[in-house]
Structure formats: C-alpha cells, structure tokens
Structure 1
Amino acid sequence: MLSTSYKSQIDTLLKRVAGLRDDQRRHSEASFKAAQNAQRKREQAAKSRSASSARSYLQQADQDTRNALAAEKRANDCAKKIADIESQVTSKQKSLQNALKQESDRADQALAAKQRASDRETQRRRQDELKHARELAKLARPEVRHVMVPAPQPEKLRILYLTANPDREQPLRTEAEVSSVLRELRGTKYRDHIDLQVRPAATPKDLLDGINDIRPHVIHFSGHGDDGLLAFDNASLDEPDSVIVEFDLLAELLNATDRPPTLLVMNACRTLHGSDVLLEAVPVLIGMEDSVGDAAAGVFATQFYSAIASGQPIGVALRQAKVALKLALMKQDAELPQLISREDVDTERVSLVSDQGVSA
C-alpha cells in the first residue's frame, strides 16, 4: 500500500479521535452537572418541612443520579473507542514508516539503475570514439604485413591447499572440506583460471616444497591451530603426531622465497591471535578468532573460494562466507573468520582472479 493511503487513513482516524474527545468531554460535563443537581435536590429534601415536597425532591435527585450514571457510561464508552482508534493509529504509523522506507529504497534503486545505464552509455560512446580513431589511424599509415604471434595464455591463480589432521583424539573432516571446495569451484565463472593443489597430511617440508614447486598466490592451511601457532603433520605412518610451527618461524618460512604469496588463509582454531607478525611475509591473511568446528570450517572455505573464483575482491569474498555461515544456521560462527592486511592494501578492491587471469 502507498504511503499516501496510510497517511489518509491516519488523518481520518485522528479526526474520529478528536470528535470522540469532544463527545467524552460533553458527557463528562453532563454527568458532573447531573450529580450536582442530585446532591442539591437531596439537600432540599432534607430541609423541606413538607413530606410531599421532600418526596418530590428525592424523586428528582434519583432521576438526576440516573442521568449522571448514563452520561458517565457514555463518556467511558467514548474513552474505550478512543483507545481502540489510537491503537489503530499506532499500527498504521508503523505501516506508514515501512511504506516510506520501501518507497525510498525503490527510489534509490531506480536512481542507481539510471546511473548505471548512463555509465554504460558513456563507456559505449568512448569505445566507439576509440574504434573510430583506430580506423582513422589505420587509413593514415601504409599497410604492413605482420606475422601473427599467439597471445600468451593468462596466468592461473595458484592455490596451495594444505591439510593436517595428526591428532587422533580430535579428528577433523579436512577431506570433506577439500571435496566441497573442489565441487564448488567447478561451477564458478573463472574455474579455468584456478589451479588448486592439495597437500594432505601436510608437513612443514610440504609447505616449503609447495612454495618452490607451485609458486602459490594463495596458501591455505586447514587443521589444528592455537594462539600463535599451526599444527602440521609429522609424516609418520606408525606414530602420527603434530609438528608445531609458531608464527615467527612461519613468517620466516613464507619470506624465504622471491615470490611470497598474496594471501594466507588459516582455517584453524584461534589463528587470528598473534598473526600480525605474518604481515611481514604476506600482505593479506585470514584467521579464526576462536574455536571453529568442522561444519563451519567447510562452509566458510567453500563459499570463500567460490566467491574468489567468481572474481570477487578478498574482502567481499570473506563477507559472502560469513553470510553463508548465517544461512547455514551458524550465526555464532559467522564472525569467527577475520581479515587483517597491510595498511597499503584495500581488500575491498583487490581481486585475485579475473577474465585476464591472475590479478594478484
């Protein structure tokens, strides 16, 4: 319903309230006046020496009392109607506020759409002008035959995906997380520009080898962590155990290359605390503010890389992952993933992949 309709209804209701208040005041005055008359007649009856006159006064007093009660009842009825209509006014005012907000939102959307159309038209004219200038330049220079050399293929976004699950008492579903991410990537816009390499049961040596062999733009660790450390695998088949790598050493490891990664994702418990030191090696990193469960870790990773592979900036991809956690009824986990970056990096604008390949 339009806001003008709600305003009209509210005005009509307020006029009814005003009329009822006049009626209520009139009935209250009549009740008060009748009660005074009744009191006065009873006083006259008490003073009268004639029995018949006293009875007449009392009869008149009784009638005035009935009139006072009737007028009071009409005043009370008016008060009830006023309360009911005021409740309707309150409800209509809420509906009016909602209608005004919706109309404002639609107006903003229409203005934004108009601006986008204007921007597209401006871009089209510029392209036409550039095309015309190129055609004129081509006509002005002599024809030269060139050997056509194929353009180089765009570089793929390389992701080194490390999983470690050496703790038998606290097993993790890292395989399910990786499987979900791979399935999601197959349907993304820039799936052909993504090269995701998985290293299960990853050791610190796997990280070093991956940095040398893959030269990753993104390094993702999924496993156990804690304040200031990650737990890698020891690669033992007989006695699996954790190899603790503290963030100071991890920063040195990530820096020990001529091409450090752009993004480090630590999908492990409490990896946000103390991670500032890692900014010396990578410009952007994502960690977990507190403990995170298997399901939440899987939902986060799946939506985050789906957004990255669709060309979304890092900051936007993280917000999408948080929304996905809320949609999966994990609202309490939605704020666990947090992003920190160097001061000169605008994560709301930095996209890792586009139709031209890697943009990191």
Structure 2
Amino acid sequence: MSSTDMYRRALAQLKDKEASLEKELQRHEADLHKAKENARRYEDQAQRASSASSAKSALSSATRESKKALDAGKKVADIKKKLADNARDQGSRQRSLQSSEKSDRQAQDREADRRRQREKSHAREMAQLAKTNVHYVHLKPPEPEKLRVLYLTSNPGMDLRTDAEVRQVQQALRGAKYRDLVTVEQRPAATFQDLLDGLNDVQPHIIHFSGHGGGSSVVMEGGELAGGSEQAISFPLLVKALDATDHPPTLLVLNACDTLEGAEVILPAVPVVIAMSDNVLDMAAILFAQQFYAALASGQSVGSSLKQAKVKIEAAMIDDEASELPQCISRDDVDISSLVLVKTA
C-alpha cells in the first residue's frame, strides 16, 4: 500500500470515529438534560411534600438523579475532549496526505518526462535506421532443403542454463517426425562476430538467440579469454547485421528477457520475430524452445508451434503468466498460421 493510500485510509477512519463520537455525545447530552430535569422535579416535590417521609423520599430521588447528571456530564466532557483530539489528528493526517499527493504528482511528472525522453530516443533510433540502406526481405517460395537453425547462446554471467536449453532442443528434434530435415548449428559463448560468421557459414533460415536481454538490446559475449566480458548489441545494430547478407533469415527468436519492446525495428530485415515480453525464468525458456522446435520439426506452422510452446509452459505451472511471455510480431504480409518452415517435398 502506498503512503498516499495509507493516509487516505487513516483519514477515513478518523472521520468514521468522529461520526461515532458525535452520536455518543448526543446520547449523553440527552441523558444529562433528562437527569437535571428529574432532579429539579424531585426537589420541587420535596418542598411541597405533606409529610416528612414523602419529603425524604423525594430528596433521595433528587440526589440519585443529580448523581446521574454528574456522571453524564463527565462523559460529555470526555467525548468533547476525544472530538478535539480527533480534529487535531485529522488536521495532521490531511497535511500528510496533501504532502504525499504532491510527491506522487511529482513522481508521475518525472516518469512522464522519462517516458517522453525514451520516446524521443526511440524516434531518433528509428530516424537513424531509416537512413540505413536496408533491403526489404521478401519471403521466397518453399524450397526442398533442410531447415537451418543458427543457435547462438550467450551466458557471460554464468547464471543461465543455455547449455541445458540446447540439449533439450536437440533431444526434442531427435524424436520429431521430420528430424532429418532440421539441422542446428550452435555457437556457444556467442560473440557479435559469431553472428556475422554464422550468417556466412550457415546461411540460416532461423537465428535463435538465448541469453540476457532488455532495453531494446541483447547481451553477447565480449570475446575476452578470461571470460565474464559482455557486449550489449542494440536492435538498430542487430538489424544492420541481419541485413548484411544475401541469404537473410525468415525467423529471429530472442529467447531473452524483455526483448519484445522495440523489436519492430527488426522487421525490415527479418519478416518474423519471436521475443519475450517480460522477464522469463530459465525453465520457462527451456520448455519454450524445446516444444517450439519439436513442433516445427513435425511440420507445424510457426503459429501453431508457438501455441504449443505456450501450452507446454502453462502445463508445467511454472508461473501463472509465464505462458504469455513468448510473443510474435511479423510483417503485415506474413501469416504465421500458414508459415511452415520444414518442407517435406
């Protein structure tokens, strides 16, 4: 609960308490008035009494009612003090609430300014990208050839199970219907140079990246022999690399956290991109890749393969929202529900 909500709730509770005290005050003031009236009435009866015994009884009743009036008066005074304390507390909470709301507005203004700066930065990147001579990739008719997958894994922090992911994919392919029509070329500890070399050597239909991502970039190995070095590859730079080939890929898979935002810039060079919309757990990433390639190697379309991968994650009950993390974006002229990458004839 935010500070603003906490102050609002506290202020509402004080107002409810004030209303309750007001009702209680009215009740005790009524009791005080009634007891005073009864005491005066009994005193009058004592003065008019015709006998000593009647006068004594009336005076006793007057004393009793006076005591009730005294008790009621004490309660009235106590409640008025509580009301005064409540009013003071309400004033304090109201000032705190106004200060917290002001802080919230300032935080919202700062976030809005940061968002505008990000939008401006994105617009500049798009403008820069537009200046680049990127040839527009057109899908070719199906060809009777093996589906070639360039599998790039990068784990400079040694905190991801990328090797386990590749192993599970290869195992899934061995059991697939058209396993002989799919070949996977892995580049472990992949650098940016490995991407360029893979474009030349493998001429892949699919480029799959498994590692860290976020902020419209992916993190590749830096290439230092000591290990642990890394290089952030921005999407604008990535799209230039993907365009620098006469045999562009059809599909790019970014099996890395927060890679969906901004991935549209890649579409001029690669017609279909699958990326993650948020942080993704290791196990979810592995299950996604395993089932996605098993389905592709069984002759399923890209759309159906993606659906199967999501169902696989959901069935494992890793996270309520994990199955929705893999998302696909494509050019308007591409229908992933009919895009089959494994050609059987």
TM-score (structure 1 length as normaliser)? 0.55
* Residue 313 (str. 1) matches residue 294 (str. 2): no
Tell me the secondary structure at the aligned position of residue 227 of structure 1: coil
Quote the residue 2:324 is aligned against.
335
User: What is the aligned partner in structure 1 of residue 343 from structure 2?
Assistant: 354
What letter is aligned with 2:305?
A
User: Corresponding residue for 2:253?
Assistant: 265
Q: Does the CA contact (< 8 Å) of 2:296 and 2:302 recur in 1?
A: yes
2:302 aligned with 1:326? no
What SS does structure 2 have at the residue aligned with 1:244? strand
Paired with 1:278 and 1:320, the residues of 2 have a C-alpha distance of 24
Identity, % of aligned positions: 53
Tell me, yes or no, if structure 1 residue 161 matches structure 2 residue 132: no
- Deviation of 1:346 (Å): 0.5
Partner-residue secondary structure (3-state), 2:321: helix
Moved over 4 A (4+): none
1:285 to 273, 291, 308: 273
Deviation at 1:294, TM superposition (A): 0.6
235-244 or 347-356: bigger deviation = 235-244
- Cα deviation, residue 239, structure 1: 4.2
On the 8 A contact 2:151/2:207 being kept in 1, the answer is yes
CA distance in 2, matches of 1:160, 1:226: 21
Q: CA RMSD in A?
A: 1.1
Gaps of 5+ in 1: 1-152
Q: Would the aligned equivalents of 1:163 and 1:223 in 2 still touch at CA under 8 Å?
A: yes
Whole-Å separation in 2 of the counterparts to 1:252 and 1:238 = 29
Q: Which letter maps to 2:324? A: E
Amino acid at match of 2:316: A
Whether the 8 Å CA contact 1:227–1:272 is kept in 2: the answer is no
Determine if contact 2:156/2:227 at 8 Å carries over to the other structure.
no
Aligned equivalents of 1:235, 1:206: Cα separation in 2: 10
* 1:214 maps to 2:199: no
Q: 1:318 to 1:241 in 2, by over 3 A?
A: same
3-state secondary structure, aligned to 1:266: strand
CA drift of 1:154 comes to 3.6
| Gap runs ≥5 in structure 2 | 1-142
Structural mapping, 1:1-360, within 5 Å: 154-168=144-158, 171-330=159-318, 331-356=320-345
CA distance in 2: counterparts of 1:339 and 1:248, whole angstroms:
19
* Structure 2 counterpart SS, 1:258: coil
SS at match of 1:324: helix
The offset of 1:305, in angstroms, is 0.4
- After TM superposition, give the deviation of residue 326 of structure 1 in Å: 0.7
Aligned partner of 1:354: which letter?
Answer: K
Q: Secondary structure at the match of 2:266?
A: helix
- Structure 1 residue 353 displacement after superposition: 0.5
Q: How far did 1:240 drift?
A: 2.2
AA at the equivalent of 2:199: I
Q: Matched residue of 1:219: which SS?
A: strand
Deviation at 1:231, TM superposition (A): 0.2
Q: 1:158 to 1:239 in 2, by over 3 A?
A: closer
Give the AA of the match of 1:344. D
Partner letter of residue 216 of structure 1?
P
